[in-house]
Amino acid sequence: MELWYTEKQDDNFSMSYRVKESLHVEETGFQHLAVLDTVPFGRMLVLDGIVQTTEVDEFIYHEMIAHVPLNTHPNPKKVLIIGGGDGGTLREVTKHPAVEKAILVEIDERVIVNAKKYLPTLAKGFESPKAEVVIGDGIKYVQEHKNEFDVIIVDSTDPVGPAVGLFSREFYRSIHEALKDDGLFVAQTESPYFMADLIGRIHNDVQTIFDIAAVYWCIVPTYPGGMWSFTMGSKKYHPADIDDKAQVPYETRYYTPAMHKAALAMPRFIVEQMRSKRG
């Protein structure tokens, strides 16, 4: 018998994966959590029916959400990660030689517990001596910290449930206050193909609060449409001002300074859609 897992993007489009085994399923109190072992992408974390990450393609998303901001800032000593309970972003952040401390604030402890058990190649980020974990709401944590971080990374679930507030203008204002005078932040901002209106609205919000706002993207095969966006707000440094011939002093598989620069170029139809939907 063949087992398949299907993630529905909407009533007319879905993505399906052949499953070897369902390893774990639970209701955490915050969300429905499943870990599946799939044929094409290895182990996969699914929250509320939405694929979060897989062993095979996770490096692309995690390298791009971490290394673009860390290499835009000249000295990212203190980093805050909101969400990211699988540990993949933390693993990438703690690789960076300038980072002295990386604090991860995750609302759902069960994501961390299950990542440590079922996704050890991602969760190894938790083993770094630079890492500190706080279980709590990232929105509240950011409101309570001022002028403290060089870089903030918002590695959240989609804008539903506890993550809704992580996509709001008020949250970007609190982030601005939690950053030092030359700080910057990046948030995962969904699919440019399916959610250009949301990205246009976020870009607009970030532009009204930060001196610099930029959107970049990468290809994640297991996210609907493949193309995935990140939005940066920065007080001083522009992500395009990177030496694209520079060498990165740690191992990466997707990220290079040349990819960093290239990722800032957006296809015209997406830019036009983002513009037309800006509120």
> What positions carry a catalytic annotation?
155
* Contacts of residue 44, Cβ cutoff 8 Å, sequence gap at least 6: 5, 17, 35, 36, 37, 38, 51, 52, 53, 54, 55, 222
Contact positions with ligand SAM (CB under 6 A) in 52-81: 52-53, 61
Q: Give the residue with the Cβ less far from ligand SAM, 212 or 220.
A: 220
Collapsed DSSP state (helix, strand, coil) of residue 177 = helix
Tell me the closest approach of the beta carbon of residue 78 to ligand SAM, in angstroms. Answer: 18
* Token couple for 39: 């044929």
Do 91 and 119 form a contact (C-beta atoms < 8 A)? no
Q: Give the residue with the Cβ less far from ligand SAM, 72 or 188.
A: 188
Contact positions with ligand SAM (CB under 6 A) in 97-116: 105-108, 111
Q: List strands edge to edge, sheet with 13-27.
A: 3-10, 13-27, 32-38, 42-47, 50-54
Tell me the closest approach of the beta carbon of residue 43 to ligand SAM, in angstroms. Answer: 13
The one segment of 134-142, 174-182, 192-200, 245-253 that binds ligand SAM by CB under 6 A:
134-142
Q: Give the residue with the Cβ less far from ligand SAM, 139 or 184.
A: 139
> C-alpha 51: how far from its chain's center?
13
Tell me the closest approach of the beta carbon of residue 122 to ligand SAM, in angstroms. Answer: 9
Examine residue 92 and tell whether it contacts ligand SAM (CB under 6 A).
Answer: no
Tell me the closest approach of the beta carbon of residue 135 to ligand SAM, in angstroms. Answer: 9
Q: Which residue is nearest to ligand SAM (CB)?
A: 83
Q: Give the residue with the Cβ less far from ligand SAM, 120 or 240.
A: 120
Tell me how far CA of residue 218 lies from CA of 19, 23, 58, 232, in angstroms.
26, 29, 12, 14
Report helix, strand and coil shares of the chain as percent, to nearest 5.
35, 35, 35
x/- contact string, 19-58, with ligand SAM (CB under 6 A)?
-----------x---------------------xx-----
Contact positions with ligand SAM (CB under 6 A) in 146-205: 155-157, 162-163, 166, 188
Q: Give the residue with the Cβ less far from ligand SAM, 137 or 148.
A: 137
- Bridge partners (DSSP) of residue 216 are 230
Q: Please give the size of the binding site for ligand SAM, defined by CB under 6 A.
A: 24
What whole-number distance in Å separates Cα of residue 42 and Cα of residue 118? 11
Q: Which ranges in the chain belong to alpha helices (H)?
A: 58-72, 88-95, 109-118, 120-123, 138-143, 169-178, 196-209, 257-262, 268-277
* Contacts of residue 113, Cβ cutoff 8 Å, sequence gap at least 6: none
The residues of the shown chain that bind ligand SAM, judged by CB under 6 A, are 30, 52-53, 61, 82-86, 105-108, 111, 137-139, 155-157, 162-163, 166, 188
